[in-house]
Amino acid sequence: MGDIDSSFIQATEHRPKLSTFVQVDEIPIIDLSESSQQNLISKIGKACEEWGFFQVINHGVPSDVSTKVEIEAKKFFEQSIEEKKKVKRDAVNAMGYHDAEHTKNIRDWKEVFDFLVENSPQIPSSHEPDDLELRTLTNQWPQYPPHFRETMQEYAREVEKLAYKLLELILLSLGIGGEKFHDCFKNQLSLVRLNHYPPCPSPDLALGVGRHKDSSALTVLAQDDIGGLQVRRKSVGDWIPVKPTPGAFIINVGDIVQVWSNDKYESVEHRVVVNTKKERFSIPFFFYPGHHVTVKPAEELVNEKNPARYKPYNVGKFYANRNRSDFNKREVENIQIHHFKIVD
């Protein structure tokens, strides 16, 4: 990963402030095998409203599938940088391998491999409103490990089923039909990310991932037992470490659900702190609709007393902007859903 340079020191907003860490509260753990559907819906609704995060156990993803993907990810990242860069991403195709050094603006202390859940989805070539040209995203698969591709695709299929189930429960908790947005995920832009966080010699100057919100509908995260994920508590604003729970997935509401819910459920800031001695792995699944989908507050939640709080926006245009700016690490502000907020 290289030595930490002065760009870390300048990025003071990304430094973890140890004095704000709070251990007394933990995000909810929800058992998806709950016998009462209504109780389960109620628990998920409460977790979404109070935290924007929760963990799930008894989720149905086979443990052997999760184990295999962890092994294959570790094998991939153990390769030389030359081998990994044979499948590196670029400004045109955002899929494949990249690391902090590739951006020439080191901030996040990690390396990453991204792949799409569906083969060759399309997105707009740019975020410009009048640009109707589409470009195709393609996965780049390494030759080693030899079973890497099939293992990753099997994992994606299992976690995708969980994501649909969770979205249904979240919508039911809002009083919306569980399958209302099901068709939005045809030709979906969902992706899986393999994160590797090497040991960092100066954790006071870096983060594994800086503070951010997810632009997906929701995120399903698998993490190892090292820990490092922190959630910004809505009620107070301090940072809460997420204690690893064996076999659990961590779920968080993304920007799209925030808009669909008309701000009832909020996409909450989170970050990852680094470890001085141990490497860490995590695997988020970002559940995105297709490029053609227009996101706006659900009509069931909009009325005279509770008007729509967002202007409609197109998923593909939003996605195109975020991918380009993330790759180039632009100095200007990245597009956010607050840009579509309707001022009262």
Q: Among the listed ranges 235-244, 279-288, 334-343, which one has the minimum average pLDDT value? A: 334-343
DSSP 290: B
Q: Quickly state the pLDDT bin for 330 (edges 50, 70, 90).
A: very low
| CA dist 210 → 17, 82, 162, 179, 271 (Å) | 12, 26, 27, 34, 5
In the Cβ-directed half-sphere of 120, how many Cα atoms lie within 13 Å? 1
Comparing 96 with 336, which gets the higher pLDDT? 96
Q: Which tokens hold the place of 122?
A: 């399309």
Query: For the residues 83-96, what does the mean pLDDT come to?
Result: 90
pLDDT at 134 over 50: yes
Q: Quickly state the pLDDT bin for 158 (edges 50, 70, 90).
A: very high
pLDDT at 92 over 80: no
Q: Quickly state the pLDDT bin for 12 (edges 50, 70, 90).
A: very low
Comparing 156 with 6, which gets the higher pLDDT? 156
Element (H, E) at 300: none
Query: Which pLDDT value is given to residue 297?
Result: 97
Query: Which pLDDT value is given to residue 130?
Result: 67
**Tell me: the pLDDT tens digits for 56-88?**
999 999 999 999 999 999 999 999 999 999 999
Q: Is the peptide bond before 145 cis (omega within 30 degrees of 0)?
A: yes
**Tell me: the pLDDT tens digits for 276-323?**
888 999 999 999 999 999 999 999 999 999 999 999 999 988 888 776
**List of domains in the chain:** 6-213+225-244+284-293 (2.60.120.330)
Side chain identity at 277, as an amino acid letter?
A: K
Side chain identity at 109, as an amino acid letter?
A: W
Query: For the residues 114-141, what does the mean pLDDT come to?
Result: 81
Angstrom distance (rounded) from CA 206 to CA 15? 6
Q: Among the listed ranges 98-107, 122-131, 198-207, which one has the minimum average pLDDT value? A: 98-107
Query: Which pLDDT value is given to residue 14?
Result: 45
pLDDT at 209 over 60: yes
Element (H, E) at 315: helix 315-328
Under 8 Å between Cβ of 285 and 252: no
Q: Quickly state the pLDDT bin for 154 (edges 50, 70, 90).
A: very high
Query: Which pLDDT value is given to residue 287?
Result: 98
pLDDT at 237 over 60: yes
Q: What percent of the chain has pLDDT over 90?
A: 65
Q: Quickly state the pLDDT bin for 47 (edges 50, 70, 90).
A: very high
Is the overall model pTM greater than 0.85, yes or no?
Answer: yes
Rounded to 5 degrees, what are φ and ψ at 341? -70, 135
Query: For the residues 195-224, what does the mean pLDDT come to?
Result: 85
Mean pLDDT of the chain: 86
Query: Which pLDDT value is given to residue 56?
Result: 98
| Most confident residue range from 95-104, 128-137, 237-246 | 237-246
Query: Which pLDDT value is given to residue 5?
Result: 46
Query: Which pLDDT value is given to residue 6?
Result: 42
